[in-house]
């Protein structure tokens, strides 16, 4: 028993030391759960950022509408001499965020022209801003700043509390249709909050001196992808949008976008007839959501600036950190994929798109290139089972 108690004592000391070094501490439950994930998947590898800049992350409290909103601001960092402080930050990350990207750098770097382009990131429904840390760290290493938000459910109670706390209701046809209307309000709420975050950063020194507010993009995963699309529709400052496997709602669903738009989807986009006819309501309505979005993407695929790509070997969770730090369900549902290779393929497309559409460093008229594992939306439709369900 003594060795076990010793290890627990060491972990407790490390936890207390780590919490003293960060502004926003995850819950003990979350920390223990992620350490268990590390133990359950000892071979899981954390991908290293592919850009040239060290990566830093600062947790900020922004005053928005009389409430405090917490964000993580990812930034390209300088290779300064403060090695001791970086080691302590790395230790804090290891203890508190064992399955997330490391961001031990301290001092922000100065872009050669004075400012960095900004991305606003929104996570999946009910999730937190850390659900895509490896991709956000990678984007940052290529010379972008990223403001990562929690889902709106984590904010203080809003006027429209129903929308803030709602989820899609798959219990019946009537409940499903009603919850889609609530989702329209919810995505509008989240997009407005994202715009307010941009406003708050523009008034917050010293960060406002480092951001190029003429070059702003939006990115999100799952419901966060829907928020990114709605933000691109409602805020004229947004130059481009990346939606990672998110069904759209509200204005973006009805009319689409007028800015460059990258839509990435898993192989679940085109549902089978059996899924659409399933007796299980959750399966049936989830398939219906996918079919509605698939039809939108096919119909709009020829619009200028639109690029819709499908990754047939991917699942929904492969567009977040669960690709490289697997979900516990993977213990009983083993997949024969190279997770790190797939992560690099996804991130290569993201960086190429951002360089063209947000930073203007690449020729937007030149064709983009991607791994053969990807298919265009039309190729994916042709490759799917040719039933009425899968050929919108």
What are the extents of the domains in the chain?
51-86+101-383
Judged against a pLDDT cut of 60, whether residue 16 lies above it is answered with no
Where do runs of H (alpha helix) occur along the chain? Answer: 2-19, 28-40, 83-96, 133-141, 161-165, 173-202, 223-234, 250-255, 273-276, 281-300, 339-357, 377-383
pLDDT at residue 125 in the model: 95
Contacts of 15-23 with C-beta under 8 Å, sequence gap 24+, read 15/95, 15/96, 17/91, 17/92, 17/95, 18/91, 18/92, 18/95, 18/96, 19/96, 21/88, 21/89, 21/91, 21/92, 22/59, 22/92, 22/96, 23/59, 23/61
Contact 108, 78 (CB under 8 A): yes
Partner residues linked to 121 by β-bridges: 148, 219
Instruction: Give the residue-averaged pLDDT of 311-330.
Output: 94
Judged against a pLDDT cut of 60, whether residue 140 lies above it is answered with yes
Partner residues linked to 69 by β-bridges: 62
Residue 330: band (very low, low, confident or very high) from pLDDT cuts 50, 70, 90: confident
* Structure tokens, 174: 């009537």
Residues 6+ apart with CB under 8 A from 239: 215, 216, 217, 259, 260, 357, 358
Q: Which of 124, 357, 389, 152 is nearest to 257 (CA)?
A: 357
* Structure tokens, 331: 């213990």
Asked whether the bond before 91 is cis by omega within 30 degrees of 0, the reply is no
* 3-class state of residue 212 by DSSP: strand
Which CATH fold would you assign to the domain 51-86+101-383? Answer: Rossmann fold (3.40.50)
Residue 392: band (very low, low, confident or very high) from pLDDT cuts 50, 70, 90: very low
pLDDT at residue 159 in the model: 80
Q: Which residue has the tokens 């007028």?
A: 258
Residue 85: band (very low, low, confident or very high) from pLDDT cuts 50, 70, 90: low
Residue 386: band (very low, low, confident or very high) from pLDDT cuts 50, 70, 90: very low
Percent above pLDDT 90 for the chain: 63
Where do runs of H (alpha helix) occur along 235-330? Answer: 250-255, 273-276, 281-300
pLDDT at residue 354 in the model: 97
* Structure tokens, 16: 């207390």
Which range (85-99, 320-334, 367-381) has the least confidence? Answer: 85-99
Instruction: Give the residue-averaged pLDDT of 251-259.
Output: 97
Report the alpha-carbon distance of residue 349 to residue 41 in Å, rounded. 27
Q: What's 115's DSSP letter?
A: -
Which range (9-13, 36-40, 48-52, 137-141) has the least confidence? Answer: 9-13
Report the alpha-carbon distance of residue 75 to residue 138 in Å, rounded. 11
Q: What is the DSSP string of 50-78?
A: -SSS-EEEEEEEEEETTEEEEEEEEEEB-
Instruction: Give the residue-averaged pLDDT of 311-332.
Output: 93
Q: What's 167's DSSP letter?
A: -
């Amino acid at each position: 028993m003594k060795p076990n108690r010793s290890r627990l004592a060491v972990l407790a000391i490390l936890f207390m030391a780590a919490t003293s070094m960060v502004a926003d501490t995850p819950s003990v439950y979350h920390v223990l759960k992620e350490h268990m994930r590390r133990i359950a998947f000892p071979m899981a590898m954390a991908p290293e950022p592919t850009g040239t800049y060290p990566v830093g992350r600062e947790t900020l409290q922004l005053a928005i509408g009389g409430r405090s909103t917490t964000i993580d601001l990812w930034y390209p960092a300088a290779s300064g001499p403060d090695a001791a402080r970086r080691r302590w930050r790395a230790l804090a990350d290891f203890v508190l965020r064992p399955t997330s990207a490391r961001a031990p750098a301290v001092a922000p770097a100065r872009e050669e022209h004075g400012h960095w382009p900004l991305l606003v990131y929104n996570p999946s429904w009910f999730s937190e801003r850390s659900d895509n840390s490896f991709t956000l760290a990678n984007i940052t290493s290529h010379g972008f700043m990223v403001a990562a938000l929690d889902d709106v459910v984590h904010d203080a109670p809003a006027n429209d509390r129903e929308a803030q706390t709602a989820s899609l209701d798959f219990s019946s046809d009537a409940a499903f249709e009603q919850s889609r209307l609530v989702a329209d309000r919810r995505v509008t709420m989240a997009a407005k909050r994202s715009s307010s975050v941009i406003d708050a950063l523009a008034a917050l020194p010293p960060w406002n001196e480092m951001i190029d507010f003429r070059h702003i993009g939006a990115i999100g995963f799952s419901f966060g992808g829907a928020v990114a699309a709605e933000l691109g529709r409602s805020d004229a400052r947004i130059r481009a949008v990346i939606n990672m496997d998110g069904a759209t709602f509200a204005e973006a669903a009805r009319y689409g976008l007028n800015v460059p738009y990258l839509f990435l989807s898993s192989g679940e986009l085109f549902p089978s007839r059996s899924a659409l006819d399933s007796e299980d309501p959750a399966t049936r309505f989830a398939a219906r959501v996918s079919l509605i979005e698939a039809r939108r993407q096919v119909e709009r695929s020829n619009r200028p600036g639109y690029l819709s790509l499908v990754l047939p070997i991917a699942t929904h969770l492969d567009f977040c950190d669960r690709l490289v730090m697997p979900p516990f369900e993977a213990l009983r549902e083993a997949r024969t994929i190279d997770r790190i290779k797939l992560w690099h393929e996804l991130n290569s497309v993201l960086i190429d798109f951002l360089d063209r559409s947000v930073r203007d460093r690449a020729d937007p008229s030149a064709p983009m290139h991607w791994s053969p594992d990807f298919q265009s939306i039309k190729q994916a439709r042709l490759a799917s089972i040719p039933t009425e369900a899968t050929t919108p």
